[in-house]
Amino acid sequence: MKIVLAAINAKFIHSSLAIRSIREYCQGMQEHIELEEYTINQKEDFILWDIYRKKPDMVCFSCYLWNISMINSIIDNLKKIMPHVPIVLGGPEVSYEAEEYLEKHLSADLILRGEGEATFREMVELFLSGVFPPEAIDGVTYREGENIISNPARAPLSLDEIPFVYHQLDDLKNRILYYETQRGCPYQCQYCLSSIEKGVRFLSPQRVEQDLQFFLDQKVRQVKFVDRTFNANPAHAKHIWRYLMEHDNGFTNFHMEITADIMDEESILLLKDARPGLFQFEIGVQSTNEKTIEAIQRNTYFEKLKIVVKKIQEAGNIHQHLDLIAGLPYEDYASFRNSFNDVYELRPEQFQLGFLKMLKGSGLRRDAEKYGIVYREEAVYEILFTKDLPYEDVLRLKLVEEMVETYYNSGKAWHTLQYVVPFFTSAFDFYEALGEYWEKKEYHKVQHNKMQLFQILDEFFGERKELEGKQKVWRGFLKWDMLLAENLRSMPAWLEEPPAVKGRKWDFFHDKEKTSKLEEPLANLSVKDLSARCGVGYFEFRIFDMLKNPKADAVWEETMVLFDYGDRNPLTNHATWYVVS
């Protein structure tokens, strides 16, 4: 008997923890279960053919927001070409309205609701003995003739009962690995499915150490914890942080979703000693409107969150990713502008502007009419408008989001933005104006390379009264950001340099008196190796003075800066730099 257990990931770099955990729990029956991972970027025909050619006796899919539309189409066609093969679905996208789903989608035969490991194992045991559907087990909703039957919910497992899912990583090279040390969440955020679950369960400290050591020994590039609130139990979080710091392999990065406003001083002090790049924190702010926070039962304190984010930032060793959600109750355009400016002021490494998705089973979906929320009926159930935020304003915020992604989150213009944004009334007003310019020029209709993106900024700045007389300075910052990212052998025409500059740059590499004063290993490199690894930038003013204080006046003094592309900042990926003349 062959059971195909399939996941359709959002990107190739992702991997599915769910199907690995379910298969690993089926000890003694794993030879019957074949894991298959696809992506939403592959053609449906390929996935259909691939599954068909495996001649399975049962096909199971892990269903999420990003793949459910594709799965619906695939199972309809699978049922046509393999009518006698049972199709089983699981995951959050089908768990919370299981009966309604089976009524609408006749191709599916059975749904595993909620936590799937024990339910799947019992289903497989019965299936291998010739029994389907499994009428006697908890946690399933199934079709029986014209009727749809839901058995009682499954009692949650002790997490230590679920084996570690990773053993060999040959099929996971260059992918992000996902890992969980807890299930459930102590908070009741009404846009999130975790608000439905009661209580939080944790892996034992001994088990966590054993699992983490595997990742460290294998030198995995990145591990993402799927724990809903990683630091919900401060002692649990500190134990993991301390273990990873003490056993750091100097390479692996660990991503956690934390709640910053509950972070205690002991945790902040502990994290100051972490290797730069060891940890990456995602922090959900969602809104700074108190009425909105109360409506969604978020229970966060932004003033405390600000303090914690700034303290972590001061240490300069942890990449922070802050989130906002547009479309929440009581948040109109002006209110969202305030929330945006509040968060932008913190200058996180990543600033995610997302739009509310009305997830099945969530409190906001239940209360959509109360808050006047109108959303797409098909996944990803994103809002179209609310009684506070008209569709026209949603479209305006989409442009702001695109500008933040293009210029801020990409890191392309990090220092240029620090200089330019304060000339505008607020950060939001800058991105709003840039988005309007982008749309007016129809730049949203075509793709742009990196140099074109910088040139568009230069053109936009040139049309703004706020920046009159500042062209030489903003162009200096644009050049700085370009050279931090990559070793440009020549500047674009709009950043034309004096003819003698190119020769002076090259002369530096041959000046042994100057190169010998560089830090190791640069000082001992040959001219060829040094020029291959590094680049020299020419600036008309002391730009490095303005990096600490962009509001200061430019000191007009010609300066040469060496950029070392062999030594990059682990948080920003920017080259290390030295003033050399």
**How far is Cα 116 from Cα 121, in angstroms, rounded to an integer?**
8
| CA separation, residue 99 to residues 121, 143, 322 (Å) | 22, 9, 37
Cis amide leading into 59 (omega within 30): no
Peptide bond into 133 cis (omega under 30): yes
In the chain, the amino acid numbered 160 is D
Q: In degrees, to the nearest 5, what angle opens at C-alpha 243 toward C-alphas 238 and 244? A: 100
Amino acid code (one letter) for 512: K
* Contacts with 529 (C-beta within 8 Å, 6 or more apart), sequence order: none
Question: What amino acid is encoded at 192 in this protein?
Answer: C
pLDDT of residue 502: 82
Q: For residue 344, which of 453, 293, 418 has the smallest C-alpha distance?
A: 418
C-alpha to C-alpha distance for 252 and 254, rounded to whole angstroms? 7
- Note whether 444 and 438 are within 8 A (CB): yes
Cβ distance 153 to 193 under 8 Å? no
DSSP-assigned beta bridge partners for residue 258: 283
Distance between start and end Cα atoms, the chain = 73
Structure tokens at 564: 């070392």
Report the relative pairing of strands 559-568 and 534-539 from DSSP bridges: antiparallel
* Cα atoms in the 13 Å half-sphere on the side-chain side of 518: 27
Gap between the Cα atoms of 238 and 340, Å rounded: 31
What share of residues in the chain are helix, strand, coil (percent, to 5)? 45, 20, 40
Per-residue pLDDT of the chain (581 residues; tens, 9 = 90+): 999 999 999 999 999 999 999 999 999 999 999 999 999 999 999 999 999 999 999 999 999 999 999 999 999 999 999 999 999 999 999 999 999 999 999 999 999 999 999 999 999 999 999 999 999 999 999 998 889 999 999 999 999 999 999 998 988 988 999 999 999 988 889 999 876 777 899 999 999 999 999 999 999 999 999 999 999 999 999 999 999 999 999 999 999 999 999 999 999 999 999 999 999 999 999 999 999 999 999 888 999 999 999 999 999 999 999 999 999 999 999 999 999 999 999 999 999 999 999 999 899 999 999 999 999 999 999 999 999 999 999 999 999 999 999 999 999 999 999 999 999 999 999 999 999 999 999 998 999 999 999 999 999 999 999 999 999 999 999 999 999 999 998 889 999 888 888 888 889 999 999 999 999 999 999 999 999 999 999 999 999 999 989 889 999 999 999 999 999 999 999 999 999 98
Please give the C-alpha separations between residue 108 and each of 88, 150, 514, in angstroms, as whole numbers: 6, 14, 72
Give the pLDDT score at 195: 63
Alpha helices in 28-97 (DSSP H): 44-53, 68-81, 92-95
Q: What is the pTM of this model?
A: 0.94
Report pLDDT for 299.
83
| E strand or H helix that includes residue 319 | strand 319-326
Residue 323's nearest CA partner among 281, 363, 358, 291 is 281
For residues 204 and 207, what is the distance between their CA atoms, to the nearest angstrom?
5
- Backbone φ, ψ for residue 557 (5° rounding): -145, 120
Please give the Cα distance from 113 to 89 (Å, whole number): 9
